[in-house]
Structure 1
């Protein structure tokens, strides 16, 4: 459950701090194969509204801007932090998800996080990882 009024929702369980925009690394693929990683399906279980925060650059673009040879490297949120601290341009979209609404996104490729900022109620979210072909989910939802 993410408390209401939380700017970002993902917690670093090692220290209890929120990590903010980040890239997932469940599949542990290098930059060159990052686009083939599983997608995240997320459903907002409510009771409150939450938001998906999504950067407009992917981790491969970030790598190319920061390093010459990155094809065999594994991306890390620290690469995103270094990109921002070096004043590279980045925009963040804030997409509203009401209870029962969700998304499928390449979260190992796109910097992202959840948010409950400015919301009166907390919310929970359920997540699944997978490769879903176009047209498969309508029969499941």
Structure 2
């Protein structure tokens, strides 16, 4: 299933979303892992066709849906407890990450410090047939700066089938599948969604190519993350 974003106000969606293509990194871009995927150039405003492509079906699968939300953060409430009243008693607090200003992508490989670029998460370690059922990630931008979530339009199952046509059913979809897909000349569009401090998202980061970004921003941005099974509409939508 491709990228679908829940929205009720098209103008509000378009005001905070932009579109770009992707490319793989070059040898001289040594801050990234070899073959990493990054946005390819200038971001552009959404067109009517872009909006149509992101519009979810009437009965979307909650586990693959992206929502732009305002998490219920309150001063004095420990971040570890923020997700407790949201409907999943088994939700997991993943911690915080600080992104420096003006980073095209933000996630690095903790083993060597090189940036991953756009990637898949793999907390649930799901095989091909179950990849669309993974838990969604909840993010809260703690500020002080604005940040973005970048999301790819092509899902992990589609990419896995394309890259491994002979044995995809036995595979565990991986970031490397996306890297091979792009390196072979296949296009992927990405959307970046602006998140001010106090704003956040729910997204299937086990299923869609993604990463954070502070590109063009002058201030750093910390973010807190949780993983859980939440029904669509659990949190107030910003769009």
TM-score (norm 1): 0.94
Alignment partner, residue 212 of structure 2:
114
Distance of 1:25 and 1:135 partners within structure 2: 24
User: Which one of 84, 88, 93 corresponds to residue 191 of structure 2?
Assistant: 93
- TM-score by structure 2 length? 0.56
Q: Which runs of 5+ in 1 are unaligned?
A: none
Q: How many residues align?
A: 138
Q: Which runs of 5+ in 2 are unaligned?
A: 1-97
With CA pairs under 8 Å and 6+ residues apart, which has the higher RCO, 1 or 2? 1
User: Where do residues 39-118 of structure 1 align in structure 2 (5 Å cutoff)?
Assistant: 39-68=136-165, 69-118=167-216
Q: Distance in 2 between matches of 1:102 and 1:79?
A: 28
Cα deviation code 1:117-141 (max 9, x no counterpart)? 1101000000000001234445xxx
1:30-72 per-residue CA deviation (whole Å, 9 max, x = no partner) reads: 1110011100000111000001111010111111111222122
Between the aligned partners of 2:115 and 2:230, the Cα distance in structure 1 is 30
Equivalent of 1:134 in 220, 232, 238: 232
Cα shift at 1:85: 0.2
Q: In the alignment, which residue of structure 2 is the partner of 1:33?
A: 130
* Deviation, structure 1 residue 89: 1.4
* TM-superposition CA deviations, 1:76-114 (whole Å, max 9, x none): 111110000000110111110111110000000000000
